[in-house]
Structure 1
């Protein structure tokens, strides 16, 4: 919910008023200006969308672009950037409202669309990281996708240079058990925007799926992920946030990156990744409810599928090794018999 604003108090209801009288003086009789300025401005995106579906009047009052623009800026502070807000205003069927419907829900678990339309020549990443409702990192980055270097190299978007660090007021976890607190308190949004096709998709699981602490350096690697279903199986869109400690003990953000890998753990190149991301941008969005639980469930299923796939691969390789050994032994014995029989 958006933070409450201070307004003048409504007229008090008489103590002896009946239930019917109270109901008659409630929401349906409020002036539209009060509903628009004092009620709807307090709602978050999902609540406002639900309110808009209740009646024709509420749908009309919930449609102004400035209302949805404020919600987008509050939910994702990086969208305040002029390069992003300019694109958002162009989204068909509502501008900021349409953008919210693209960027808020979790991507559907069904196979991605294989569209024949041209792939985006540019992608905009709008990224925000919160810790206990405090914004600790926010950045917008544009990525060219039409170069041969992008298409042939392993797909990776880095938001920080190797020597860049972002200080935070958070105490760096000094023990493994303290890392579990990050799973509860940190959330990340990585919205990928096609500025030409005017589409967007949120590639983050919102909450971390894993948190690991390096035993030697003490750096904490926080992983967010979206599991995307494709024709050949599943791929992981992994977002890694690496945090280290400063001399005074505060946490520093040292890496924020996005990569794509297949079921065998191989990193996809830019060309293959762009096909998948294009399908994600045009694909059907899932429900906005229980996004965190659904994303974590998909990740656990993905890890289990990878484990089973690796076991099957090792079993096949073991059978092939035995066949090769048996074939070699049979050749050797046959050669020995040939020599003795001469």
Structure 2
């Protein structure tokens, strides 16, 4: 059996048979320990979830907490930290399984008008993992308070590295476009945001980069990941906002790339950076909102980003047309006032 393949929904596991020399063997005759230890442990999260829907026996075996704990820790190495691991075990409706269901798919960027069921969290925990060609190069858990005036009134930004801190990587630095092409194809990033009070989590990364740019002067490469979230319809940040994650890489003395910055910011459709108070409202709704499908996360993330960029372009063009029309009206109004004034002066002179 391929460990990464999804079980076929058309073949119930309790009646599945295999023909070997005329002998028929029922899958249900396998000992549960064999199924759990030698089959289910080889599946990834989506495959294990699909297997649990095949039969009552597999549903029971696939609900074991240690299976989902292993999947969470192998998918996101940052979740092995003591605090995050304890939080995952206390998630309602399934512990690690509930955490995976919340954190694996992307949130749907659909605005909602319903009132929030809870207050915004006083603290946010970020579990971040960066890999290159399936090898982990960076992992960190960052805690961010959200109650002080500094957070609420300042532009929202989460930095994972200190100003002079760097992370070495095995990526070779080249002067051409080979590095950018390699990064956009082989680098992956996961940024899981966790509400430790409400026991909720959401993925804020497109998993694969949506763009890679090289700075013309410094030679640094900026790899951008993004998630498009719904904004508060009643607030100042209407429509959609971009939750942007930027990984800045530079050349080391040995010729390899090194990570120099990993940060998250949020901006609206006018390109304005959101302050902490408005960002917290958006993130709170994303934590409570619906999730998309677990398949094709990379394609879905890039598709949403392209649609967002197109909406920004159309919004900018509409704004420019509106401003242009207002400018014409203002000029016409000024000319009419000027002509009326001189007509009045000429009439009085006569």
Correspondence for 1:10:
none
CA–CA separation in structure 2 for the residues paired with 1:124 and 1:322: 51
Counterpart residue number, 2:28: 28
Could you tell me whether the CA contact under 8 Å between 1:114 and 1:279 is conserved in 2? no
- Deviation at residue 328 of structure 1 after TM alignment: 1.6
Structure 2 stretches lacking a partner, 5+ long:
5-18
Residue by residue over 1:23-61, the C-alpha shift from the partner in whole angstroms, topping out at 9 and shown as x without a partner, is x33633211111111111111111111111111111111
Bigger shift: residues 182-191 or 161-170: 161-170
Between stretches 261-270 and 167-176, larger displacement belongs to 167-176
Equivalent position of 1:324 in the other structure: 330
Which residue of 1 is the match for residue 248 of structure 2? 242
Q: Distance in 2 between matches of 1:75 and 1:114?
A: 33
In the TM superposition, what is the alpha-carbon distance from 1:16 to its structure 2 partner?
7.3
Q: How far apart are the structure 1 equivalents of 2:283 and 2:174? A: 34
Partner of 1:128: 129
Structure 2 distance, partners of 1:16, 1:40, is 23
Alpha-carbon distance in 2 for matches of 1:137, 1:177: 22
Distance 2:215 2:306 in 1: 22
Superimposed CA distance per residue, residues 192-211 of structure 1 (whole angstroms, 9 cap, x where no aligned partner): 00001000000100001111
Task: Map 1:82-121 onto structure 2 (within 5 A).
Answer: 82-112=82-112, 114-121=115-122
Deviation larger for 43-52 or 171-180: 171-180
Aligned residues: 328
Q: SS at the partner of 2:285?
A: helix
Q: With structure 1 as the length reference, what TM-score do the two structures score?
A: 0.92
CA distance in 1 between partners of 2:120 and 2:174 (Å)? 42
Structure 1 position 2, deviation (Å): 6.7
C-alpha displacement at 1:110, in angstroms? 2.1
Partners of 1:272 and 1:142 lie apart in 2 by: 19
The correspondence of residues 115-264 of structure 1 with structure 2, limited to 5 A, is 115-230=116-231, 231=233, 232-264=238-270
Counterpart of 1:294 (choices 290, 300, 313) is 300
Backbone CA RMSD of aligned residues: 1.8
Following superposition, the deviation at residue 146 of structure 1 comes to 0.8
* Residue 84 (structure 2) pairs with residue 81 (structure 1): no
- Kindly indicate whether the alpha-carbon contact (under 8 Å) linking 2:109 and 2:240 is maintained by their aligned counterparts in 1: no
Unaligned 5+ runs, structure 1? 4-14
Deviation at 1:62, TM superposition (A): 1.2
More displaced 10-residue stretch of structure 1: 171-180 or 87-96: 171-180
1:17 paired residue number: 21
Aligned to 1:281: 287
Deviation of 1:164 (Å): 1.2
Tell me the distance in 2 between the aligned counterparts of 1:115 and 1:131: 38
3-state DSSP of counterpart to 1:182: helix
Structure 1's 88 and 164: CA in aligned 2 closer, same or farther, altered over 3 A?
Answer: same
Deviation, 1:335, is 2.3
Within 2, Cα distance between the matches of 1:114 and 1:183? 39
Secondary structure, in 3 states, of the residue corresponding to 2:188?
strand
- Residues 99-133 of structure 1, C-alpha deviation per residue, up to 9 Å, x if partnerless? 11110011123224640411100000000001000
**Structure 2 length as normaliser, TM-score?**
0.90
Q: Which residue of 2 aligns with 1:12?
A: none
User: How many angstroms apart in 1 are the aligned matches of 2:117 and 2:200?
Assistant: 16
Distance 2:339 2:282 in 1: 53
Classify the secondary structure of the residue corresponding to 1:25. Answer: strand
Shift of residue 320, structure 1, vs aligned partner: 1.1
Paired position in structure 1 for 2:346: 340
Secondary structure class of the residue paired with 2:213: strand
Cα shift at 1:331: 1.9
1:65 aligns with 2:65: yes
CA distance in 2, matches of 1:175, 1:16: 56
